[in-house]
Amino acid sequence: MSADDTAPRTAEIADPPHFFRCHVFVCTNERPAGHPRGCCKHKGSERLRDYMKARAKELGLKGVRINTAGCLDRCELGPTMVIYPEGVWYSPKTTADIDLILERHVRDGGRVGALMLRPGDDPPKAGKG
Ligand code: FES
């Protein structure tokens, strides 16, 4: 019997509790000017991320982490962010959008439907890279 034979199967192992109640990933990837897919950095994502971090602190949100992310592969729809554990995507354009996402989704557990991205929103990836 090898060591693997005694290891518990995945289904028998309980997942640990989430380390963060809410984990937000904000794409700040930059591509060269004129790239066919564009990039979130050129659409103001760093400013929105900075605002979101500061505003989350001001609101006193607990168990929340706002992280910088590399390309999330939905560049044409940027600026993009995704919130876990729900896996809900948003494309905020303004700090007012960030306020809505923080207050309605992150704080209250609701959704901001007008800013939400859905799988069918993505264009074909002709110039991916
Ligand atoms: S550059 Fe932001 S999703 Fe690709």
pLDDT tens digits along 13-68: 899 999 999 999 999 999 999 999 999 999 999 999 999 999 999 999 999 999 99
The answer to whether position 124 is within a domain reads no
**5 three-state secondary structure:** helix
Report the separation in Å between the CA atom of 109 and the middle of ligand 1, taken as the mean of its atom positions. Answer: 25
Ligand 1 atom at shortest distance from the alpha carbon of 38: 1
The answer to whether position 29 is within a domain reads yes
Q: Is the pTM of this model over 0.75?
A: yes
Q: Is 78 in the pocket of ligand 1 (CB under 6 A)?
A: yes
The answer to whether position 125 is within a domain reads no
Domain that holds residue 31: 17-118
The answer to whether position 56 is within a domain reads yes
Least confident of 65-69, 73-77, 123-127: 123-127
Least confident of 5-9, 35-39, 106-110: 5-9
CATH number of the domain that residue 83 is part of: 3.40.30.10
- What's the number of domains the chain is made of? 1
Q: Is 66 in the pocket of ligand 1 (CB under 6 A)?
A: no
The answer to whether position 98 is within a domain reads yes
Q: Is 24 in the pocket of ligand 1 (CB under 6 A)?
A: no
Atom 1 of ligand 1, nearest CA residue: 39
Q: Does an H or E element contain 101, and which?
A: none
The answer to whether position 2 is within a domain reads no
The answer to whether position 9 is within a domain reads no
The answer to whether position 41 is within a domain reads yes
Sheet bearing 88-90, strands edge to edge: 64-69, 22-27, 81-84, 88-90, 116-117
Ligand 1 atom at shortest distance from the alpha carbon of 69: 2
Ligand 1 atom at shortest distance from the alpha carbon of 27: 2
Which segments within the chain are labelled E, that is strand? 22-27, 64-69, 81-84, 88-90, 116-117
